[in-house]
Amino acid sequence: MKLAVFASGSGSNFEAIVGAVHAGDIAGTVQVLICDKGDAFALERAERLCIPAYVLEPRKYGSKVEYEEAVLQVLRSYEVELIILAGYMRLVGDTLLSAYENRIINIHPSLLPAFPGLDAIGQAFDAGVKITGVTVHYVDAGMDTGPIIAQEAVKVEDSDNKEAVQRKIQAVEHSLYPKTVQHVIEDLGRRINQ
Ligand code: GRF
């Protein structure tokens, strides 16, 4: 299956997914990285991993529709079938949602529906929860609201500071996301063959 990853920042999940493809754990290829920020570290990873990367900055377009149409053109040129959001810090609009219905997934660093939105790890830490975790979900028009596909819990010990929680969450993300991408690919395959 032909995949695109969208990222705005570091891109460690992007790299984990490419690693899983190389290891044969994902039945697909990462065709392209889409970045909405020219200075995202994910771009350096893409270069090292030899994945084509495109920077499309929304402010350079007249509207969200025009921006997403430009993104769509890139996706179509690579025949992308599944979009993987990995630290893509913006809401997906109607243009992409209707072109890729049930084919856009996201990872969020909390056990949704708890702590949606920005700085979920900080929100959970400040709330003093003893268990937090990671959620992979289908994307809809809301903020971290689509149907949940997979979750994994992370224990917060009394001795953990926020950085320790973040490290634990990231380690879980890097194994849960590739595994879940493979499940979604298998599911899509079944849906297409029905
Ligand atoms: C991850 O924690 C992910 O859950 C959230 O943004 C972060 C992206 O990290 N959506 P990275 O850019 O993949 O390192």
ipTM of the complex: 0.98
91 is in an annotated binding site: yes
Ligand 1 touching residue 173 (CB < 6 A):
yes
Q: Is 152 helix (H, G, I), strand (E, B) or coil?
A: strand
Q: How many residues does the chain have?
A: 194
Res 189 pLDDT > 90: no
pLDDT given at position 99 = 98
Cα 80 to Cα 31: distance, rounded to the nearest angstrom:
7
pLDDT at 190: 87
> What digits encode the pLDDT tens for the residues 31-81?
999 999 999 999 999 999 999 999 999 999 999 999 999 999 999 999 999
Output the domain CATH number for residue 73.
3.40.50.170
Asked if omega into 52 is within 30° of 0 (cis), the reply is no
Under DSSP, is residue 44 helix (H, G, I), strand (E, B) or coil? helix
If we measure between CA atoms, which residue out of 169, 184, 194 comes closest to residue 13? 169
With contact defined as beta carbons under 8 Å apart, do 28 and 181 qualify?
Answer: yes
**In whole numbers, what is the pLDDT of the chain averaged over residues?**
97
Q: How far is the CA of 147 from the centre of ligand 1 (A)?
A: 19
When pLDDT is averaged across residues 102-122 and rounded to a whole number, the result is 97
Which tokens go with 183? 């499940």
**Contact at 8 Å (CB) between 33 and 7?**
yes
Strands (E), 62-188: 82-85, 104-108, 131-138, 148-155
Residue located via tokens 């990995």: 86
Is 106 annotated among the ligand-binding residues?
A: yes
| Alpha-carbon gap, residue 17 to 190, rounded angstroms | 22
What are φ and ψ of residue 94, in 5° steps? -60, -35
> Residue 7 has which token pair?
């990222």
- Residue 118 belongs to domain spanning: 2-193
- How close is the Cα of 14 to the center of ligand 1, in Å? 9
pLDDT band at 192 (very low <50, low <70, confident <90, very high): confident
Band of pLDDT at residue 193, cut at 50, 70 and 90? confident
Q: Report how many domains make up the chain.
A: 1
Structure confidence at residue 191 as a pLDDT band (50, 70, 90) = confident
Cα 72 off chain centre by: 17
Q: What percent of the chain has pLDDT over 70?
A: 100
Q: What share of the chain in percent tops pLDDT 90? A: 97
For residues 97, 98, 100, 104, the Cα torsion angle rounded to the nearest 10 degrees is: 20
